Homo-oligomer: A and B are copies of this chain.
Amino acid sequence: MYALVFLVFQTEVSELLEQKAQLGGDDGKQQFVLKTPKGTRDFNPKQMAVREKVFNTIVGCFKRHGAETIDTPVFELKETLTGKYGEDSKLIYDLADQGGELLSLRYDLTVPFARYLAMNKITNIKRYHIAKVYRRDNPAMTRGRYREFYQCDFDIAGQYDAMIPDAECLRIVHEILSELDLGDFLIKVNDRRILDGMFAVCGVPDDKFRIICSTVDKLDKMCWEDVKMEMVKEKGLSEEAANQIGQYVSMQGGMDLAERLLQDPKMSQSKQACAGLSDMKQLFSYLKLFQVTDKVVFDLSLARGLDYYTGVIYEAVLTQAGATPAPDGEESPSVGSVAGGGRYDGLVGMFDPKGRTVPCVGVSIGIERIFSIMEKKAEAEKVRTTEIQVMVVSAQKNLLEERLKLVTELWNAGIKAEAMYKKDPKLLSQLQHCEESGIPLVAILGEQELKDGVVKLRTTATREEVDVSRVDLVEEIKKMTLVV
């Protein structure tokens, strides 16, 4: 009772303090805090041009693999998200209770996808979904970690022969990262069943699997000694069990490692581990056919935090020097990680009233990190933010009407064209605008041109000018902008 009242007062006080901070001087005029919410950002036109290019590459790949696309609302019923994210549930954004349903912003695209499949009784689909998701995490925006960020997900749902869809997901990661040309990368693969089997044979008690798994997941940013200490000191694991885990999680390889572990006296005692290892062998045989084994490594230290994975898991990391952040002391989860995913055969069943399952495997491209890298690359370059092909300008005064008539002719012909919104702009400032914004052609109108029924067409790059008959103008522009 007292606790409740206290909570209310706490909220009131923090609101008052916030309101006070937002009220500026004594002039009574409210001072707005001109900012976007913590952990979010605007995209300016140049960033949008980069973003469009990245999306085109990714969507092009998804379409090459025959994916359809769907969309879901930005918020879901709160209960839809409940119990799906383990510890991370505290990072979910809730909407205020304004009467009606209790809602939360989506935390990822996977749970809404599973809800969509169950709700529409879909048992087979290959779909991609590109949309923003929301996490009340501690933002680290300089390295591309935001509270509002894009996910680009590709998932295959359906009962198929083992490991073929899983291999295609890895092929997709390989295609996208190669095409985006982000530098060298590596795709680490493991299997939830191999992890669980390993924990079992190493003597981890059943009820500690998940927390020990979370600790293993930290190996990408902590050394083994620290991880071991956490296992023993904080999680209460025996030193012996920790040491045995330590031997396994240092192993990396390919199909050969899977074969070796199938013969391992300890590991082979676990049925689960054996199932995972056999599938891993199968996976690598398909990866070879898909020509991607050069970048894929079976790595027993890969754990991935999410609860819902049931089989294969994977994560792609950039391995070049520039990809690792500066050692500024700030926490950096999964350094250089740009894609991740895995198999989650149980999630759809959590939504189905009769518990019917739909096996699923998918991958999520960590696009914000890729934006950061591409934006840095683009800083030096001149990126066009419009696609205007022709600017209609005039050399003399009182030709606004003629300019607007001509620009209308061009729009009618589907040409991307513009004219300045001024009655009598200076010729020089119009030409300068073309050079600065990279508009390839200029259509110049003057008294003489109007009399002669021509337009002077200027190529911005070369400053060459040529008179073109008004009737041939559209064709000429189309020809020239193909070449330019």
Contacts and interface: CB of A to CB of B under 8 A. Distances in A.
Given A97-B15, A165-B421, A353-B34, A45 B103 contact: no
A119 interface: yes
A68 interface: yes
A127 B47 CA distance: 13
Given A165-B421, A290-B404, A422-B160, A97 B11 contact: yes
Interface stretch (A204-212, A218-226, A268-276, A382-390): A382-390
Interface in A155-207: 156, 158, 160-161, 164-165, 168, 171, 175
A85 B404 CA distance: 35
Contacts of A96: 93-97
Contacts of A11: 97
A328 interface: no
Interface in A26-62: 30-38, 40-45, 48, 51-52
Interface residues of A, number: 104
B38 A101 contact: yes
Contact of A291 (B52, B286, B291, B408): B408
A65 interface: yes
Contacts of A42: 70-73, 116, 119-120
Interface string A352-388: 0100000000000000000000000000000001111
B68 A127 contact: no
Interface stretch (A238-246, A247-255, A411-419, A468-476): A411-419
A450 interface: no
A44 B32 contact: no
Contact of A69 (B48, B105, B353): B48
Interface stretch (A75-83, A293-301, A312-320, A453-461): A75-83
Contact of A5 (B4, B33, B116): B4
A327 interface: no
A386 B63 contact: yes
A189 to B, nearest CB: 18
B411 A36 contact: no
A304 interface: no
Given A411-B64, A411-B175, A77 B421 contact: no
Contact of A100 (B38, B41, B160): B38
A161 B387 contact: no
Contacts of A5: 1, 4-5, 8
A63 to B, nearest CB: 5
Contacts of A79: 22, 30, 32-33
A18 interface: yes
A132 interface: yes
A115 to B, nearest CB: 7
A5 B161 CA distance: 59
A105 B76 CA distance: 14
A33 B77 CA distance: 8
A386 B115 contact: no
Given A4-B5, A37-B77, A42-B116, A422 B161 contact: yes
A32 B80 contact: yes
A204 to B, nearest CB: 29
A15 B101 CA distance: 9
Contacts of A421: 156, 158, 160-161, 164-165, 168
A416 B68 contact: no
B103 A94 contact: no
A127 to B, nearest CB: 7
Contact of A4 (B8, B289, B411): B8
A44 B18 contact: no
15 contacts: A15-B97, A22-B79, A30-B79, A31-B353, A34-B353, A64-B414, A65-B411, A65-B416, A65-B418, A66-B387, A94-B98, A95-B96, A164-B404, A165-B421, A289-B405
Given A63-B386, A74-B105, 16 more contacts: A1-B5, A4-B9, A30-B79, A34-B353, A36-B76, A37-B101, A38-B100, A42-B120, A43-B71, A74-B134, A94-B98, A98-B136, A160-B421, A164-B421, A171-B408, A175-B411
